[in-house]
């Protein structure tokens, strides 16, 4: 139900694929080496791959895998490189300077490098309404390290009692919970902005409120939303029941960036699963919720691993 905003940068439809895995014995770097990721987006030109490779190799780094995408009939270049390096020989500050010089050479639209072992985790806030399944899955994913993020707070328009699983979990781990009662006239967006001002992106874990264009522009960072794949045919408060009664055979989930156009932002991840006449309403809903959890979790990981790049106005490249 939330609206999608700007798009992170995705790398996905591989037109030209450079996979250097075959020349390496293993993707696991020696213990003395550190893993890095670099994504690049610029106008297409001769020699970009050579310059990227040289930038890493000249400092003693080694490319483990690289993906390149050049859209057909469009002069744009997208790439994502996994590499290992010795942080003693290639300090993090020097790495930033080297990739900046490369981006200036090609007048890059986007050039981002991350070193997960050295860089701070992304800070996120999670917005949720009454349904718990996506929120609980995110909390557990954060707890066991599946999601490389730090959750600064959970914000909800639904009151949860002190003895609920969510509240007990948040209190045990020191994560603030903010209950903001919303109405049609007051979405409490000013207060939400105050609570999320130091975050890198937001996650709407089945947050059943529409974020305004003013909110999205004021926040300025990406917002990721999850919803069931039963839209647009089955709208309203009980879409799963409607779909079940209609006898659908495929259900799904879609994770996308929030923009001012409702549920129409660039897609990051989608998943589907078969259902049949053997499913009752309970198993139908369970399958739908499981898809939503898996889809959202994978989208967040892809975003944090720099696999998502904006492509054209309403698309993404996901490497």
C-alpha 266/C-alpha 294 separation (Å) is: 18
Q: Residue 231, Cα to own-chain centre: how many angstroms?
A: 21
Q: What is the pLDDT of residue 300?
A: 98
Mean pLDDT for the chain overall = 89
Distances in Å between the Cα of 146 and the Cα atoms of 59, 82, 150, 294, 313 are 31, 19, 12, 12, 31
Catalytic, out of 86, 98, 150, 263: 263
Give the pLDDT confidence of 175-231 residue by residue, as tens digits.
999 999 999 899 999 999 999 999 999 999 999 999 999 999 999 999 999 988 765
pLDDT per residue over 59-116, tens digit each? 999 999 999 999 998 999 999 999 999 999 999 999 999 999 999 999 999 999 999 9
**Is 263 annotated in the active site?**
yes
Scored b (16 or more CB within 10 A) or e, 118-142 reads eeeebebbbbbbeebbbbbbbbebb
Q: Over 80: is that where the pLDDT of 35 sits?
A: yes
Residue that wins the pLDDT comparison between 52 and 6: 52
Q: Which residue has the tokens 């929030």?
A: 258
Q: What percentage of the chain carries pLDDT values higher than 70?
A: 88
Specify the pLDDT at position 23.
Answer: 32
- What is the reported pTM? 0.86
Q: How far apart are CA 74 and CA 165, in angstroms?
A: 51
């Amino acid at each position: 139900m939330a609206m999608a905003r700007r798009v992170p940068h995705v790398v996905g439809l591989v037109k030209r694929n450079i996979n250097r895995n075959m020349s390496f014995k293993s993707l696991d770097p020696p213990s003395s080496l550190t893993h890095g990721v670099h994504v690049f987006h610029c106008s297409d030109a001769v020699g970009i791959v050579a310059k990227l490779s040289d930038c890493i190799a000249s400092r003693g780094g080694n490319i483990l895998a690289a993906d390149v995408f050049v859209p057909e009939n469009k002069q744009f270049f997208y790439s994502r490189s996994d590499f290992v390096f010795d942080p003693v020989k290639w300090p993090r500050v020097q790495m930033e300077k080297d990739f900046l010089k490369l981006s200036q050479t090609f007048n890059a639209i986007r050039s981002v490098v991350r070193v997960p072992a050295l860089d701070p985790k992304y800070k996120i806030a999670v917005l949720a309404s009454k349904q718990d399944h996506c929120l609980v899955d995110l909390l557990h994913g954060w707890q066991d390290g599946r999601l490389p993020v730090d959750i600064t707070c959970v914000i909800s328009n639904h009151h949860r009692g002190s003895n609920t699983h969510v509240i007990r979990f948040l209190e045990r781990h020191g994560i603030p919970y903010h209950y903001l009662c919303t109405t049609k006239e007051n979405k409490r967006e000013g207060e939400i902005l105050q609570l999320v001002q130091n975050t890198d992106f937001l996650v709407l874990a089945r947050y059943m409120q529409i974020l305004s264009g003013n909110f999205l522009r004021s926040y300025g960072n990406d917002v990721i939303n999850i919803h069931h794949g039963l839209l647009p045919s089955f709208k309203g408060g009980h879409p799963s029941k409607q779909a079940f009664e209609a006898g659908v055979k495929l259900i799904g989930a879609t994770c996308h960036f929030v923009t001012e156009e409702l549920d129409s932002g660039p897609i990051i991840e989608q998943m589907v699963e078969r259902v049949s006449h053997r499913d009752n309403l309970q198993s139908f809903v369970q399958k739908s919720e499981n898809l939503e959890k898996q889809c959202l979790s994978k989208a967040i990981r892809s975003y944090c691993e720099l696999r998502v790049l904006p492509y054209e106005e309403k698309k993404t490249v996901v490497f």
